[in-house]
Structure 1
Amino acid sequence: MREKPDTSSIPPSAQRIVFTLRTIGWISFWLQVVLGVISAIILLLSLAFSRNTAAQASTQGTGFGIFFAICGLVALGIGAFFAFRYTLISKQLLETGRPSKAETLQAIRLGLIVNLVGMLLTIFGAQAVVGSVLTKSLSQQGAVLDPSRYVQPLDLFVVQGNVNTITAHFAGIVASLWLFNRVSK
């Protein structure tokens, strides 16, 4: 078994920062990973089902939304990496006393920026999909002969995937802001 490092030489304020970085880093990491995996599965299923011609005709306009949703998922993966990096920084602080406060704040700042950009991309995707669904719902009155104008469950599935990704980015943003506040004191 691994021995725990001796924390008696570390000041109490640094011990609190180590604990906060480790705890919030793991919570943020797992929230982002779980919600990101669910969103990825939803988007992959929607892409798989939109491959057949009947569903493809019924999901016109969601391609733009899916593109941005995938970009948001990529950013979410990077955000989850930064959340994991917070746990590594806490371990480094505990073992070696490095990195410095400025380096730690810079890592948190980058994680925050990644999650903000990812959330923006995902919001663009959600807006495109919701706009497509709204257009379909408004044009359903005469859709008896044209089933491609019906709102399909697949459309709402993509909306759900986007909302999950936005929630995951929000969790990353909250965690980064919390850490930034705690470390900068």
Structure 2
Amino acid sequence: MTTTKNPIDSPPFFPGLRILGYQFKLIGWIGFWLKLVLAIAAIVIVLFASATLGGRPAVPGQPVPTAGAGVGIGIPFLIGGVVCLGISVYWSFFYTRLSRRLVKPTPKGQPSKAETTNWIRAALITDLIGMLLMVIGAESIGGILFSKALSQGVGSFINIDPSRFIQPGDLLVILGSIHGIAGLFIGLSTSLWLLQQTVMQKPPTAPDGAIGRHD
């Protein structure tokens, strides 16, 4: 003899949790593609700028103009920022996987609110560290380029080391850092919004288990 479980015995699915799951899915995919495009652009630009370091002297007997002369001090910071941006891309993809667990019709398998907020905070820390590294790298490179610009006064183009001029590769490095900062800013914005939406979930009942069932 089989018994049928009374639907009343099963806790009702919190409707707000389904909405939260859709938000994680939508914001996750938007952030994933935007950050992926910016990350690829930043990597390509930095690699292209590195490939242009050096070249032929414009005037025989003059030193070879080096696009990255003096700006190398900021490159490690930019690389670290790009790595953090790559991790941030993963976090956006993780949000889309998390959304599947949030929309499950039963509490089993659903993440708790504390678990979800901890994941979002980890993504925020990644974006903050990456943005800090990018800003330090951009600031150091920008300061060096400013000193180069000051040295290019009237009459300074005669018998001067071409490596002291601002080269196109120098500007490419700055452009790459801007792309990286933009991607990390998107990560910060989306994660903060999802964190707010998660914290706001306060259903009337709160048995153990799902995020939508405890404060």
Counterpart residue identity of residue 130, structure 1: G
| Map of 1:137 onto structure 2 | 149
| Map of 1:158 onto structure 2 | 173
2:103 counterpart SS class: helix
Alpha-carbon RMSD: 1.5
Q: 2:69 and 2:134 mapped to 1: Cα distance?
A: 18
| Map of 1:89 onto structure 2 | 98
Given candidates 88, 110, 130, the residue that maps to 1:79 is: 88
Indicate how the Cα distance of structure 1 residues 68 and 178 shifts in structure 2: closer, same or farther if over 3 A, else same: same
TM-score, scaled to structure 2: 0.78
Deviation at 1:150, TM superposition (A): 1.1
| Map of 2:113 onto structure 1 | 101
Counterpart residue identity of residue 18, structure 2: Q
Relative to structure 2, which stretch is displaced further, 86-95 or 17-26?
Answer: 86-95
Given candidates 133, 139, 142, the residue that maps to 1:121 is: 133
Q: 1:83 and 1:138 mapped to 2: Cα distance?
A: 42
TM-score, scaled to structure 1: 0.90
Q: Deviations over 1:90-120 (max 9, x none)?
A: 1122235421111111100100110000000
- Asked whether the 8 Å contact 1:60–1:132 carries over to 2, the reply is no
The question of 1:171 aligning with 2:180 is answered no
| Map of 2:76 onto structure 1 | 67
Counterpart residue identity of residue 183, structure 1: T
Counterpart residue identity of residue 81, structure 1: Y
- Asked whether the 8 Å contact 2:128–2:188 carries over to 1, the reply is yes
Q: Where in structure 2 are there 5+ consecutive unaligned residues? A: 1-11, 57-63, 201-215
Aligned length: 176
| Map of 1:3 onto structure 2 | none
| Map of 1:10 onto structure 2 | 13
Relative to structure 2, which stretch is displaced further, 16-25 or 93-102?
Answer: 93-102
Q: 2:95 and 2:65 mapped to 1: Cα distance?
A: 43
| Map of 2:4 onto structure 1 | none
Q: Percent identity?
A: 39
Q: Where in structure 1 are there 5+ consecutive unaligned residues? A: 1-8
Kindly name which structure, 1 or 2, has the bigger radius of gyration based on alpha carbons: 2
Deviation at 1:52, TM superposition (A): 4.6
Q: Flag the structure with higher helix content.
A: 1
After the TM superposition, which residues 23-42 of structure 1 pair with which residues of structure 2 at under 5 Å, given as runs? 23-42=26-45
Deviation at 1:55, TM superposition (A): 4.3
Q: 1:90 and 1:138 mapped to 2: Cα distance?
A: 53
Q: 2:173 and 2:65 mapped to 1: Cα distance?
A: 13
Counterpart residue identity of residue 137, structure 1: A
Indicate how the Cα distance of structure 1 residues 41 and 25 shifts in structure 2: closer, same or farther if over 3 A, else same: same
Given candidates 87, 110, 124, the residue that maps to 2:122 is: 110
Q: 2:86 and 2:158 mapped to 1: Cα distance?
A: 42
- Asked whether the 8 Å contact 2:31–2:92 carries over to 1, the reply is yes
